[in-house]
Amino acid sequence: MSLILAAALATAPFADLDAIDRQVSGFTGAGVGEPGGAQTPVDRRLRLRPCASLLALSWRSGARDSVVVQCGDNGGWRLFVPVVQGGPGMIQPPVISRGDAVSISIQGEGFSVSRPGEALESGPVGAWIRVRPVAASGSASDPLRAQVVRPGLVALPLP
C-alpha cells in the first residue's frame, strides 16, 4: 500500500512557480530583483498543490515589504514574497491613468465578481482611486473608490 501512495505522490502535479512569479511581478509592477519587485523568484524547492481558484495577492502591510500570495481553495496555502525596497520616499509610477478602461473586482470570502469600468483618477499599485462602473448599455453609474491591484484591475475587497 505504501508503494502505491509513494508512486501517487511522485507523479502529483504541483503549482506552476513561474506563473506565481509572473503574477507577483504583475501585482507589484516590477520584475524580480528590481526596486518594488520580488527580491528573488519563489523558492523552487516548494511543492505546492495546484490552486483551482484564482490566486489572491495583497500587500502584507502598509510598508509594502512583502506580497502575500494565497490560494483560496479549501486547505489552500499562503506564501510571503519579500519585496526589494527602494530608497526613502520612493515614488511609484501610476499603473492606471485617468480615462483607462479597468476591470472592477469585488472580492469576498469564496467569491469574486467583476465588471467593466473607467478610471476617474490615476494611481500606482495599492492606491485608492475613483472609478465609475460602466453598464452593458454603455451608461455609467455613480463613482466608487477602489484599490489599484495592477494595470487594468482595481478591487473592492469586502471584509
Per-residue pLDDT at 65? 81
Per-residue pLDDT at 10? 45
Q: Where are the chain's structural domains?
A: 2-82, 101-157
pTM here is: 0.49
Q: What is the second-level CATH architecture of the domain 101-157? A: Roll (2.30)
Half-sphere exposure of 135 (CA within 13 A, CB side): 5
Cell (9 digits) for 59: 500587500
Per-residue pLDDT at 138? 62
Per-residue pLDDT at 75? 86
Instruction: Report how far residue 63's alpha carbon sits from residue 107's, in angstroms, rounded to the nearest whole number.
Output: 23
Per-residue pLDDT at 17? 92
List, as one string, the DSSP characters of 110-145.
TEEEEEEEEESS-B-TT-EEEEEEB-TTS-B---EE
Task: List per-block mean pLDDT (blocks of 10 residues) for the chain, which spans 159 residues.
Answer: 44 83 90 87 91 88 84 90 70 86 88 91 88 78 88 85
Per-residue pLDDT at 85? 76
Order across the sheet with 55-59: list the strands.
Answer: 55-59, 66-71, 78-82
Instruction: Report how far residue 99's alpha carbon sits from residue 130's, in angstroms, rounded to the nearest whole number.
Output: 11
Task: Quote the Cα angle for 19-22-26, to 5°.
Answer: 140
Half-sphere exposure of 77 (CA within 13 A, CB side): 12
Per-residue pLDDT at 8? 41
Per-residue pLDDT at 139? 63
